[in-house]
Amino acid sequence: MPGLRLRRPATDVVELAALSGRAGDLERIAAGRGTTLPAFGHALLKADRAAVCVRPARWLLLGPPAAPGASAAAWADACAGRGVAVDLSSGIVALDLAGPAVREVLARGCRLDLDPSIFPPGRAAATVMAQVSVILVATRAGVLLLTPSTTARHFGEWLEHTAAPFGIERAAALPFLSGDPHE
Amino acid sequence: MTGPARIANGLLTDPDRPVGFRFDGRSFLGQHGDTLASALLANGVRLVGRSFKYHRPRGVVTAGPEEPAALVEVVGPGGREPNRPATTLPLGEGLVAASQHRWPTLTFDLLSINGVFSRFLPAGFYYKTFMAPGWAWERLYEPLIRRAAGLGRLQPVAGAQAAPAETIHDHADVLVVGAGAAGLAAAHRLGTLGLRVILAEQDEVLGGGALQDARWDTWRAQMDARLRRLGSVRCLTRTCVVGAYEHGVFAALETLTPAETAAFGGLRERFRIIRAQRVLLTTGAIERLIAFAHNDLPGVMQAGAALSYLRRYGVAVGRRPAFFVNNDEAYEAAIALHAAGVEPIVVIDARAESRAAERARAQGLDVHGGAVVQEARGRGRVRAVRIVDRDGRSRELEADCLLVSGGHSPWTALASQSGASLRWDESIAAFTPALDAASGCVAGAARGCFGLARAAADGDAAARALAAGLGRSAVAVAVDPALALPEDAEVTPIAPLWEVRGRGPAFVDLQNDVTTDDVRLAHREGYEHVEHMKRFTTHGMATDQGRIGGLVGSAVLALARGLPVAQVGQPRPRPYLQPLPFAALAGSDVGAHFKPKRRLPLHDAHAAAGATFVAVGLWLRPLVYSTETGWGPVLKEARRVRRSAGVTDVSSLGKIDVQGPGAARFLDFVYANTISTLAVGRARYGIMLREDGMLFDDGTVARLGAEHFILTTTTANGAAALEHLEFHLQACCPELDVVLTDVGDQWAQFAVAGPRAREIVAAVVPGIDLANEAFPFMAAAAATIAGLAGRLFRISFSGELAYELAVPAGEATGAWRAVLEAGRPFEIAPYGLDALNTLRIEKGHVTGAELNGNTSADDLGFGRLLKKQGDFIGRTLSRRPGLAAPDRLQLVGVRPLDRTKRLRNGAQLVAPGAAGTGLGYVTSSTPCVLEDGWFGLALLAGGRQRIGQRLHAVAATHGEQIEVEIASPHRLDPKNTRVHS
Amino acid sequence: MLRIRCPWCGVRDEAEFRYRGDASVRRPRGDAGLAAFTDYAYVRDNPRGWHLEWWLHVGGCRRLLKVSRHTVSHAIHAVGAPDDHLPPPPDGARE
């Protein structure tokens, strides 16, 4: 059994940022659109979308791929005057890590304490690994990792190199998240 | 049994698994589980190296990482690795090791003449003797000293890969350092209270001092098993904590077992960075030496080491041992050796009487109370010891080894580094540490609690206190009878003894060859402070950091100064507490992972088009679409742009999305020119200053909506510019409601440039009227590009009619192909960074060479951009008088008069015939695209006043001097007709 | 290595932060003149003791933090947002 199963789900990413004092408004607008915005340091994962909060009053919304820019435009319209929505679908790459060695592999680059008692499923954090910015979301099966696209290949090479002693299994494409819904 | 001195089965060795190894060319057999030291001792090998300064013969002194003498080179396929302590080097099958510091052979060492003349080589000798003449250092003294000295040698390995290494980040509630009786008891207590514990033990097995006593075998085994069952305790053996840092951070080096090494691709060591809320230092105590004449002779060892070799490896370090002690604890070794059948054993105890002496005599050992050893005698190894009896008579006793114990010093290095204060404890004649409760605590022998049962109880108590401090109060736990502790023996206190004066060198630091006379010399020369004495004599500065002799040196100094040791103190050992390979520190940030590589969204398309890539900062950018070197292919790409059209990838530019009601005001503050007046659908060249008035970065600002801007920064400053904006927004303008988003990775952007650019762009952006009036220079718009929602800017960096097309990076390949397809009738081709530079230099656009941090806006000709009204970063200091000085270095163009001469970057500009300093220098240069000769940009003192003058460009490194004409930096199309066409 | 307690992200390694200088100096008003801006740009105290500093959490939430750090012991006694008034450092600064 491989220690690490590595999948790369295709996602749309929209960054939603509240204007001053408008975070509550965005939460209501999002609720109206069927999305709950999580508290800072948390993520809400469903089968086909996710919301992650690792910056104050800012959320990354992950969803199934659509026409480039379409979801951001829809969010921007809905939040006009209260928040800003920017498309980052091309700027961020998602890696879905599962398997028994996930935390051991990540400990070789991640300075954060990922012990389940500290970082249980549903927690999220922004940090730096292999000299690259990453956002980590604890899932039941492992970790959903978001990283900038221009360094994603470099990060992937580092990850595969680091995980090699534990055994690694790659799944080429994935419709979206790994079927790890919880809320 | 393997080897003549193997008299029993060891705890760690397996007599059924013989292991062959070579030392200095000779073949030996050891046992699985041996260290190199135990295997050599089992084979009766005493001489294992020579000392580094005097080349005195040296043997094994200790049984652990405190070893000062038995350092060897390990010879492997990857080269030679020096300075491995034989006492911790596991004996692997086929191990090849060699002694150090001998020339030509270990037993016949020509340089040991240093020893004969050692009275001429005291501490400070090098500083004083090799002073003059100056030339002699390089040619005479240094080669000689290097021949004679040096701690081992590294042998470069041609073509070999760097050893793999990795760093692991660890976290714990409590880090327990040292798994002796105190550490085991503490870790067990902390674990049962539910705290996350890392128990780090430098030894390969848990137990520490409890390994030395057979009565503790059951307790040890039970503890070991219980800890392994506790999920909250991680036991890291072979893991030496090598440094303690502020805020609960510790560095540790883990040595892998051969099996792990094989599984991890040859990885030998792991560097661990451990973060702990509290630390519990149960690092034990280290037996110290006593200084007497020739106390470095092979066969002079630590008494506790003799016990270790017997218990762990079944090896008797001698058949006729003499002990020299001043404390009861040391008797355990004598009694154990005696019980194992070694006799006769003689003990020389500096104290007249003691409980341990009584116990030893009862078992038939010969104890000389009130006596001291004055000298170890023998050539190359101990043959006899000269003692002075209690009545003052001197006599010689036959012995084949001398086992010394001057007492036990708590190993306080980590505590000191953690900020502990040290207190002198007369009852053990040593310093003990006390740690601030917020950091953790020290327990067991590490704070002078000697005796295994006492230490275990102390560890448990410390663990309860720590747990309470972390909010886990200990529930009453019934005493488990299976875990009952064997009782400690009653002891008579130590009588401090540091030195026995006699004839011959008495060493306090065996690795650095420092004697008690050296310490006294330091004192006589005024190096009285213990830290000064350390540096003058190098006492404690070797890889063992003076573990066994450090305090003895302090005591000798104290005696010389007429002060108690308590007042003199001891030097603080600094990280790292054990030699550490650089590879372990570098971890995995080596080779391909040394720094991140940023790849353009179109990286693969560029590679397929034959690009040669160049690293620019973190980016890999196409330099030229050819594998040919030289200017030919570059100029071909550039000419195509000037004559028809080319396309280049500018995705590496930093891109920042700025939105919100305060966006325009914020940009007015961070840019030196006015942004708020920019109309929606227009772009503007913008410059940012630093607060000191110097240029920070430049780029374009496009207004996509009333409250929506998109900025570009230079490639080099992408990350820095974002930080600059974030810092000033939060620190200086918190009242402005602005959202900054880094969209550098989101957008691919390419420039289509050249006289035919409009026709090509029109084909891929059908929805926009590109006529000059409808979409003039510096227009910006959201646009559908090759079917994608993108953005179109009419911006030029080449001096030509040009457009920049931005599309989502994930879809960039299609848009790029569409441009190439649309440009096919115009023979469009991609151009690389070299051609881009060539084009921009001719146009006089600046990049990093000119935006070098020392140039002001005015220096580069941007003075008129600085807004007159309103505050902005750098406004006030950009107007300081110094920046208006007429001799500022100003941007100019440089054209060699001789069209066949090359202009070089960095060439100094000097007035013809004038000696002295240059007037400026060439920052960027290029062959001209459509004409002969070279053109360059330069920073020249009072440059704008010199336009039209002739100067010399001197490239001293190339031995070139050419005549140049100073010109406007804008060689191409100064009236901008092309970009507006 | 420092460990800085980010008010948002919790305790994080120094490596995640970018030091942005002395937080005890505040940018003068735009019309404050050359002398005031010279002081702001160049003149810094170099205290042996408690020091107010800017740290930008670039590797985390990207918020700017005001940190009170002891320059000898590296002890950090308070961290806050840019506009926060940090509690005064303890008397008898630990060294």
Mark yes or no for CB contact C27/B723 under 8 Å. Answer: no
What number of residues does chain A have?
183
Residue B113: pLDDT band (50, 70, 90) is low
Q: Which of C1, C25, C63 to mutate to test the interface with B (most CBs of B within 10 A)?
A: C1
- Residue among B248, B872, B876 whose CB faces C37 most closely: B876
- Residue among C18, C37, C82 whose CB faces B731 most closely: C82
pLDDT of B428 strictly over 70: yes
Residue B832: pLDDT band (50, 70, 90) is very high
**Please, what is the angle between helix B331-339 and helix B303-313, to 10°?**
40
Mark yes or no for CB contact B246/C2 under 8 Å. Answer: yes
pLDDT of B140 strictly over 70: no
Residue of A nearest to B809 (CA): A90
Q: Which residues contact B16 (CB under 8 A, 6 or more apart)?
A: none
Residue of B nearest to A22 (CA): B737
pLDDT of B494 strictly over 80: yes
Residue B258: pLDDT band (50, 70, 90) is confident
Residue B51 confidence (pLDDT): 84
The alpha carbon dihedral of A172, A173, A177, A178 has a sign of: negative
Mark yes or no for CB contact A126/C12 under 8 Å. Answer: no
Residue B581 confidence (pLDDT): 82
Longest alpha-carbon distance in chain C: 41
User: Which tops the pLDDT comparison, B112 or A64?
Assistant: A64
Residue B118: pLDDT band (50, 70, 90) is low
- Residue among C2, C20, C83 whose CB faces B727 most closely: C20
Where do we find the tokens 């005024």?
B526
With pLDDT > 90 as the criterion, what percentage of chain B qualifies? Answer: 83
For chains A and C, CB pairs below 8 A equal 33
- A partners (3+ CB pairs within 8 A) are B, C
Residue B633: pLDDT band (50, 70, 90) is very high
Q: What is the mean pLDDT of chain B?
A: 92
pLDDT of B598 strictly over 70: yes
- Average of pLDDT values for B418-442? 94
Query: Of B237, B304, B248, whose CA–CA distance to B281 is shortest?
Result: B248
Q: Which residue segments constitute the domains of chain B, with CATH numbers given?
A: 1-158 (3.10.20.440), 166-285+410-483 (3.50.50.60), 290-405 (3.50.50.60), 502-581 (1.10.10), 631-653+746-853 (3.30.1360.120), 655-743+856-880 (3.30.70.1400), 885-981 (2.40.30.110)
Q: Of the ranges B95-99, B262-266, B670-674, which one carries the lowest mean pLDDT score? A: B262-266
A41 touches chain C (CB under 8 A): yes
Buried-exposed string C31-68: b where 16+ CB fall within 10 A, e elsewhere? eeeeeebeebbeeeeeeeebbbbbbbbbbbbbbbbbbb
Residue B109: pLDDT band (50, 70, 90) is low
pLDDT of B104 strictly over 80: no
Distance in Å, alpha carbon of A147 to nearest chain C alpha carbon? 12
Cβ-based interface (< 8 Å): residues of C facing A: 8-10, 12-13, 15-16, 59-63
Residue B350 confidence (pLDDT): 97
Residue B164 confidence (pLDDT): 76
Mark yes or no for CB contact A111/C61 under 8 Å. Answer: no
- Average of pLDDT values for B172-198? 97
d(CA B632, CA A76): 49
Q: Are B84 and B61 in contact (CB under 8 A)?
A: no
- Residue among C15, C62, C63 whose CB faces A111 most closely: C15
Mark yes or no for CB contact B597/A154 under 8 Å. Answer: yes
Q: Which residues contact B699 (CB under 8 A, 6 or more apart)?
A: B653, B654, B685, B686, B711, B712, B713, B714, B721
Span B153-166, pLDDT tens digits = 665 544 455 567 89
pLDDT of B843 strictly over 80: yes
Helix (H) or strand (E) holding B42: helix B36-42
For chain B, the C-alpha Rg in angstroms (whole number) is: 38
C15 touches chain B (CB under 8 A): no
Residue of C nearest to A58 (CA): C61
d(CA B702, CA B465): 63
Spell out which residues of chain C touch residue A56, defining contact as CB-CB under 8 Å: 8, 61, 63
Tokens of B109: 């060492």
pLDDT of A181 strictly over 60: no
Q: Which residue segments constitute the domains of chain C, with CATH numbers given?
A: 17-26+43-87 (3.30.2270.10)
Span B16-61, pLDDT tens digits = 999 999 999 999 999 999 999 999 999 999 999 888 778 889 999 9
Residue C93 confidence (pLDDT): 45
d(CA C68, CA C79): 6
Where do we find the tokens 């630390």?
B279
For chain C, the C-alpha Rg in angstroms (whole number) is: 14
- Average of pLDDT values for C20-48? 95
Tokens of B287: 């037996």
Residue B153 confidence (pLDDT): 60
Burial of A20 (0-12, 13-18, 19+ CB in 10 A): middle
Q: Distance of CA C11 to CAs A48, B293, B564, Å?
A: 32, 55, 44
Q: Which of C37, C56, C61, C77 to mutate to test the interface with B (most CBs of B within 10 A)?
A: C37
Q: Distance of CA B503 to CAs B119, B362, B500, Å?
A: 12, 35, 10
Residue A183: pLDDT band (50, 70, 90) is very low
From the DSSP assignment, how many helices (H) and strands (E) are in chain A? 4, 11
Q: Where are the beta strands (DSSP E) in B671-738?
A: 683-689, 695-705, 708-713
Span B680-728, pLDDT tens digits = 999 999 999 999 999 999 999 999 999 999 999 999 999 999 999 999 9
Q: Of the ranges A161-175, B93-107, B487-501, which one carries the lowest mean pLDDT score? A: B93-107
Mark yes or no for CB contact B723/C74 under 8 Å. Answer: no
d(CA B624, CA B640): 13
Residue B158 confidence (pLDDT): 45
Residue B459 confidence (pLDDT): 97
Amino acid at B90: P
Q: Which residue segments constitute the domains of chain A, with CATH numbers given?
A: 11-87 (3.30.70.1520), 91-174 (3.30.1360.120)
User: Which tops the pLDDT comparison, B125 or B636?
Assistant: B636
Residue B592 confidence (pLDDT): 84
Mark yes or no for CB contact B808/A89 under 8 Å. Answer: yes
Mark yes or no for CB contact C56/B732 under 8 Å. Answer: no
Span A79-118, pLDDT tens digits = 999 999 999 999 999 999 999 999 999 999 999 999 999 9
pLDDT of A175 strictly over 90: no
Residue B292 confidence (pLDDT): 98
